Each structure stands twice: as structure tokens, then as C-alpha cells.
Amino acid sequence: MPEEPIVHMRTFIHGIAEEDLIGKQSDRLLISRVKELTAGKILVGHNIKSDLEVLEIIPTQARVRDTAEQFAWTLGKQWPSLKDLASQKLGIEIQTGAHDSKEDAFVSLLIFAKEFSSWKNDLNDDFLQKRKEENMRSSPFYCRICNIVCASSENLKAHIVGKKHAKKAKYYIY
């Protein structure tokens, strides 16, 4: 139960209804319990940076296995959704009804388990940066002149005829 009053439940985002909170422990207590449970553990999730911030957990990169970070710039998107990754990596459809945090957590764990080997060496920033660049270059909507990835083929087409691209292309040696 949060200590501050709830202004808007936003159940459609997280699937938690107001009645789910009745009689539950305070968030302060919960935060300390989560801290206890996660100490020294590897944390797996999808785009969990802000979740960890709320829980006051400052993880070192080595402890987090984030499926959003891991597959950044894949599937033609900077941050592919968990729904897209579940479909591509596991061949399953998720988030069909109300949002379910437990389902999300479980699915990112499944993706992590399946793609475990790709995480093996990602303990240093150089490696992460290199892989990010590789992912970017492999996107079908990548512009090698500007070193950016567009969100769709329409965006790429618009980009190619745009001012920013023209400026860069002028100085580009083919």
C-alpha cells in the first residue's frame, strides 16, 4: 500500500486494481523486502530501469539482464516491446488482455533463458557498445551515412530526402 494517496489507479497499465491493495503492507516495507531478496542476485526483466529506480535499487550493469537493452535496435526499433520479442524469440503472443506484470516478468525470463549465450560477454561497456552498433547496422531501416536507425521504411524514406541526411551525405565519401 503506497504511503501517498493514489490519484489515478492506471490499472490498464499494470493490471493492479485498487482492491488488490486493501490490507497490503506499506511500500516502504515492500521496498526493503525486495532489496533483501535481490541483494547480490542477477535481475532479469524488460526495460526495468525505472522499476528499479522506484524500488531504490541501484544495480551495477553486471547484475542486470534487461531484454530491452539486450535487443535494442533489433526488429527495426530502438526499444523493441516485450510483446514483439515474445513473438519473435519465443513464437508466443502475450499481453492480449489486461496487462499482467507477472506474465511480463515470466516472459522476459523465458527470453533470457533462451538467449542466454548472447549475454555471456556483456560485462564491459565496450562490448555492449559494439553489439549495439552491430544491431543498428543490421536493421533494415539503418542509414549508414548518419549512423541512425529509423522506426519504419516510411521513416527511412522520409529521412533520406530530408535536410539532415542531405547535409551529412554532402561530406560523405563513398
Chain residues binding Zn ion by CB under 5 A are 143, 145-146, 165
Nearest to 132 by CA among 75, 44, 88, 70: 70
Q: Nearer to Zn ion by C-beta: 68 or 150?
A: 150
Tell the smallest beta-carbon distance from residue 3 to Zn ion (Å): 49
Q: Nearer to Zn ion by C-beta: 82 or 145?
A: 145
Q: Nearer to Zn ion by C-beta: 65 or 77?
A: 77
Backbone angles phi, psi at 29, to 5 degrees: -65, -40
Spatial distance between the Cα atoms of 124 and 121, rounded to a whole number of angstroms: 8
Looking at residue 50, the DSSP 8-state letter turns out to be H
Contact indicator for 116, 89 with CB cutoff of 8 Å: no
**Please, how many CA atoms are within 13 Å of residue 134, restricted to the half-sphere of its CB?**
8
Q: Nearer to Zn ion by C-beta: 46 or 165?
A: 165
Tell the smallest beta-carbon distance from residue 133 to Zn ion (Å): 16
Tell the smallest beta-carbon distance from residue 168 to Zn ion (Å): 6
Tell the smallest beta-carbon distance from residue 144 to Zn ion (Å): 8
